[in-house]
């Protein structure tokens, strides 16, 4: 057993490149996660958050993907350099993943109960009956109504929310220590979203599993996270406790992200957007990757800023941090209010 003082998962300097691309799509990502903790990775599409998750699960197709550097220590073993057979033993057992699309993530040709049971049989060597009993127990735990009946249904007979619950049941069937959820609620209705998030939180509390939640929905972050990592163009630009990130965002990208979130109440004008687009992988600037869209960018931004700690575990990769006043530059960032 690994020593208990070490964090459950410690990722250091993870870099991934695709094919012959000149730059890393995931660049120097470092994360730590304790037991029972929830880390939300936020960022727009293509920022590398899903790649990071898939790399941890060992699900990235290599090639074309190439691991440039990095270690991911999980319960004393480096996930990134583990023999595939060992990785397969961990996957679905000690760590599990929930995917974005519940409609397509279940095998349409197998009954839902059998799919859950499969994960149990694979890792626990359980008999058919034991695995089936466990599947039923899991369906109850994810609060699917009439679980005895659902056990023998095919995925197409279930609604999206119910399928996502079934996916969660499958992922948690072997009590993993680490659960990675890649946008688990994006494909669901808003009301169902809330239920599924609620469910995940309860199950996590019961099992003390750590959760990495990948999302672009800041509402989900506020609801779920203990810690947040904001990713932009393959790098973590800001990370820290959820309260620090929401109350006192330091990186211009995080500030932009926060202000582009619509809030309820009287309309204060147009939604704030961040001008420009993410630089393409073959034209990634040398220094700060956000510089081309940043209202604060200066000549020093040609050199990449390190992810420095500004107290309380709040880390920011920006030469301008810590910011004194966000109000003035926000005007510039968001355009006409």
Partner 1 sequence: MTAVTDAPAVPQRPRSRVWTKLRANPSALLGAVLVIFFVVVAILAPLLPIPGPLETDWLAVRKPPSAAHPFGTDEIGRDVLSRMVWGAQASLLAGVVSVLIALALGIPLGVAAGYARGWTDAVISRVTEALLAAPFLILAIALAAFLGPSLTNAMIAIGLSAMPVFIRLARGQTMTVMTEDYVESARAIGLSHLAIIWRYILPNIFPPLLVQATLTVATAIIAEASLSFLGLGQQPPSPSWGSMLNIAKNFLEQAPWMAMWPGIAIFLVVLGFNLLGDGLRDALDPRDH
Count of residues in contact with partner 1, rule CB under 8 A: 41
Taking CB under 8 A as the criterion, which residues in 171-200 touch partner 1?
A: 171
> Minimum Å distance from CB 171 to partner 1?
8
Nearer to partner 1, 49 or 111 (CB): 111
Taking CB under 8 A as the criterion, which residues in 57-96 touch partner 1?
A: 57, 59, 88-93, 96
Residue selected from 34, 44, 75, 153 as contacting partner 1 according to rule CB under 8 A: 153
> Minimum Å distance from CB 105 to partner 1?
4
The whole-angstrom separation of Cα 198 and Cα 200 is 5
> Minimum Å distance from CB 176 to partner 1?
10
Task: State the binding string over 111-150 for partner 1 (x if CB under 8 A, else -).
Answer: x------xx--xx-----x--xx--xx----------xx-
Instruction: Please name the helix (run of DSSP H) or strand (run of DSSP E) that holds residue 212, with its range, or none.
Output: strand 210-215
Residue selected from 68, 154, 292, 304 as contacting partner 1 according to rule CB under 8 A: 154
Q: Please provide the distance, in angstroms rounded to a whole number, between the alpha carbons at the two ends of the chain.
A: 56
Q: How many residues in total does the chain contain?
A: 337
Closest by CA to 179, choosing from 213, 211, 138, 226, is 211
Instruction: Check residue 167 for interaction with partner 1 (CB under 8 A).
Output: yes
User: In the numeric block, which tokens belong to residue 92?
Assistant: 């679905």
DSSP string for 257-313: HHHTS--SSS--SSPP---S-PPPGGG--SS-TTGGG-TT--GGGGSPPP-EE-STT
In angstroms and rounded to an integer, the radius of gyration of the C-alpha atoms of the chain is 21
> Minimum Å distance from CB 332 to partner 1?
42
Residue selected from 35, 81, 107, 322 as contacting partner 1 according to rule CB under 8 A: 107
CA distances to 45, 152, 234, 274 from 67, in Å = 21, 41, 14, 31
- Which residues form the interface with partner 1 (CB under 8 A)? 57, 59, 88-93, 96-97, 99-101, 104-111, 118-119, 122-123, 129, 132-133, 136-137, 148-149, 151-154, 156-157, 167, 170-171
């Amino acid at each position: 057993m690994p020593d208990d003082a070490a964090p459950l998962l410690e990722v250091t300097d993870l870099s991934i490149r695709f094919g012959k691309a000149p730059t890393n799509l995931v660049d120097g990502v470092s994360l730590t996660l304790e037991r029972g903790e929830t880390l939300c990775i936020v960022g727009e599409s293509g920022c590398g958050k899903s790649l990071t998750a898939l790399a941890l699960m060992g699900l990235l197709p290599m090639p074309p993907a190439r691991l440039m550097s990095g270690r991911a220590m999980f319960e004393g073993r480096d996930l990134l350099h583990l023999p595939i057979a060992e990785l397969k033993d961990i996957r679905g057992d000690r760590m599990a993943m929930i995917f974005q699309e519940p409609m397509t993530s279940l095998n349409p040709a197998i009954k839902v109960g059998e799919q859950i049971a499969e994960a149990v049989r694979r890792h626990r060597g359980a008999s058919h009956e034991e695995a089936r009993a466990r599947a039923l127990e899991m369906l109850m735990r994810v609060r699917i109504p009439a679980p005895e009946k659902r056990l023998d249904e095919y995925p197409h007979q279930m609604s999206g929310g119910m399928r996502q619950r079934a996916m969660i049941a499958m992922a948690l069937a072997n009590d993993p220590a680490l659960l990675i959820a890649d946008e688990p609620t994006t494909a669901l209705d808003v009301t169902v979203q809330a239920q599924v998030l609620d469910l995940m939180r309860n199950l996590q509390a019961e099992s003390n599993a750590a959760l990495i939640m990948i999302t672009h929905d800041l509402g989900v972050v506020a609801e779920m996270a203990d810690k947040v990592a904001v990713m932009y163009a393959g790098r973590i630009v800001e990370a820290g406790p959820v309260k620090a990130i929401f109350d006192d965002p330091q990186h211009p990208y995080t500030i932009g992200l926060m202000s582009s979130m619509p809030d309820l109440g009287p309309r204060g004008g147009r939604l704030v957007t961040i001008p420009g687009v993410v630089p393409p992988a073959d034209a990634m600037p040398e220094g700060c990757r956000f510089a081309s869209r940043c209202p604060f960018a200066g000549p020093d931004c040609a050199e990449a800023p390190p992810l420095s700690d500004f107290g309380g575990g709040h880390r920011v990769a920006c030469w301008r941090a810590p910011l004194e006043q966000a109000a003035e530059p926000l005007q510039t960032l968001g355009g006409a209010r």
